[in-house]
Structure 1
Amino acid sequence: MKPTDKFSGKADVYSKSRPSYPTEYIDYLLSVNSLNETSRVADIGSGTGILTRQLLERGISVVAVEPNDDMRKKAEQDLQQYELFTSIKGSAEATSLPDKSIDLVIAAQAFHWFDQEKFKLECKRILKQEAKVALVWNSRDFTSLLIKENAEIIKKYCPNFYGFSGGIGEGGEIFNQFFRDGQFEYTKIPNDLVMDFEGFLGRNLSASYSLKESDKEFEFFVEAITNLFEKYSHNGKIVMPNYTRSYLGKV
């Protein structure tokens, strides 16, 4: 299955259950990149528009580039009221955006799906001189027993699971290779997620590797997630230790 097809049929549950980004992080992006009402941001691999919405709410013009039809149409439906919102069917490697037209490129929960060298070339083409790229993930905190047990369930039932965020951890040569001269700014902000059962189940089912209802093991997977929620929840809520990590630099 092509990466662009992995989220087909998951747009609704993705939109409902995937977390947004901390206000502190949005403030950081606007400040460090000197973004204002004249700026234009490209959200590449924008999905259902979670981060796109947060930028639009701050008065920033956003071009959302998304190849998956289900995800893109969900964003278009949910964000059509924002005058500063533009939606494009395109890929990270071929956005169709004009040369030197973008003040910041963002890839949220998406960089691990890209052909990174081709994406880098596309960023160089569409970014204004000295403008930057931000790569950001909402990541699980593996010091938590809940997170560790959740990962074990996923490993057991989901054959397409190769690690969260495509296996891209906090460090690694991949970021040194992507950013110009290996220089980038790393930011880490707590973003714990408080969810009811529907949200917790949806968070698991929205993943690209997650089973679908038609899969043989689906009911067993849901049962295991349900038992995990009952083990760690309190008064109908569960807290998933989570943090937002960001890499910002020139390419």
Structure 2
Amino acid sequence: MDSTYDAVAEEYIKTRNDIPESFLSGLEARGIDFDGAKIADFGAGPGFLSEQLGEKGGIIDAVEPSTDFQAHAEKVFKENNRINFNLAYAENSGLPPKTFDIVIALRSWDWFDRRQALEEVRRILKPDGYLIIADYRFVKSSGVAKDTIKMIRKCAKKYNVKSRRHGYGSDEMINAFPFEWMEEWQDFRFDIRDLYKRDRKVAFTHEEWMHHLGSISALVAFKRKHRKKTLKKVSDHLKDTYKEEVYRINHEMNVVILQNKN
């Protein structure tokens, strides 16, 4: 199957297993019970979140179109009977109807055709089941982060890179969620149970930061040679401009808990 992330799968697997433990514990504190729950993990990547959900007692169907991520998951989870990896798109998961207690999408919702994905969630989710959408990423609150994004965007324009992420029409937001998304959730009868944000700082050496950037969403659509040139430009600029040994980069975790009222 075609997947943008196949181009950076190796880097992603090495550097992006960075989901804070507070993500799932924060959901548990808000009444989400993973123990024994049937969970569909949409946009599961190589299965980092699925693994954490399994450790919480969940029974997981990971849904991901990347063949490289699937190959990794088959090796890692071959002895794990709590996780089943499905090579499929979120919009057409092939999962059975009215079966799941929870559908969860971390760092993936803006890659989907959202209305098709909502139709699929509505099909497979039990009445009163939960759809949890979350994003975890660094924010432009430091010079290092601002310069990094500025240079990536400049190179994207230079190389005429077209993002495959699905845009939205309005810049109005609550936390990191566009109003347009909220209207879509309402259209499909998913009620907002909770919406919240958590901040944290993450320390990176220069080398760790550059490895981390290699698979971020802003770069995955670049051709390999252009991605390499862009990372070199970013690296040279940061080395010349910032002399600290450790970059402390602010990250945000934005989460919405939706309940199926169909």
TM-score, reference length from structure 1: 0.85
Match of 1:177 in 2: 183
- Choose the corresponding residue for 1:192, options 192, 198, 201: 201
Matches within 5 A, 1:85-234: 85-158=83-156, 159-160=160-161, 170-180=176-186, 183-184=191-192, 185-210=194-219, 211-213=222-224, 215=225, 217-230=226-239, 231-232=241-242, 234=244
Cα gap change, 1:16 to 1:196, in 2 (>3 Å): farther
Number of the residue aligned with 1:69: 67
**1:179 deviation in Å?**
2.1
| Cα distance, 1:219 vs structure 2 | 4.8
Alignment correspondent of 1:238: 247
Alignment RMSD (CA, Å)? 2.7
Does the Cα contact within 8 Å between 1:41 and 1:62 map onto a contact in 2?
yes
Counting only pairs closer than 5 Å after superposition, residues 47-58 of structure 1 correspond to structure 2 as 47-58=45-56
State the distance in 2 between where 1:30 and 1:100 align. 23
Once superposed, which parts of structure 1, at least 4 consecutive aligned residues long, lie more than 4 Å away?
A: 161-169
Matched position secondary structure for 2:80 = coil
Structure 1, unpaired ranges of 5+: none
Partner of 2:5, secondary structure, is coil
Q: In 1, are the aligned partners of 2:54 and 2:83 still within 8 Å (CA)?
A: yes
CA contact under 8 A between 2:34 and 2:53: conserved in structure 1? Answer: no
SS at match of 1:248: strand
Q: Deviation of residue 196 (structure 1)?
A: 3.1
- Kindly indicate whether residue 4 of structure 2 is the aligned counterpart of residue 6 of structure 1: yes
Whole-Å separation in 2 of the counterparts to 1:171 and 1:36: 24
Matched-pair contact (CA < 8 Å) for 1:11–1:74:
no
Separation of aligned partners in 1, 2:165 and 2:144: 15
SS at the partner of 2:213?
A: helix
**SS in structure 2 opposite 1:100?**
coil
Contact 1:56 1:84 in 2 (8 A): yes
Give how far 1:115 is off. 1.2
What SS does the corresponding residue of 2:7 show, helix, strand or coil?
coil
Identity %, equivalent residues:
21
Distance 2:165 2:248 in 1: 18
More strand by share: 2
**1:23-49 Cα shifts (integer Å, max 9, x gaps):** 222112234354243211110010111
The answer to whether structure 1 residue 39 and structure 2 residue 37 are counterparts is yes
Please give the alpha-carbon distance, in whole angstroms, between the structure 2 residues aligned to 1:244 and 1:135. 11
More displaced stretch, 14-23 vs 58-67: 14-23
- Cα distance in 1 between the residues matched to 2:137 and 2:228: 26
Q: Does the aligned pair in 1 maintain the 2:111–2:165 contact within 8 Å?
A: no
Say how many residue pairs are matched.
246
Give a deviation string over 1:102-159, Cα, whole Å, max 9, x none: 1110111111111111111111111111011111111222222221111111012234
In structure 1, the partner of 2:15 is 17
Counterpart contact for 1:137–1:165, Cα < 8 Å = no
**Relative to structure 2, which stretch is displaced further, 146-155 or 180-189?**
180-189
The answer as to whether partners of 1:188 and 1:244 remain within 8 angstroms in 2 is yes
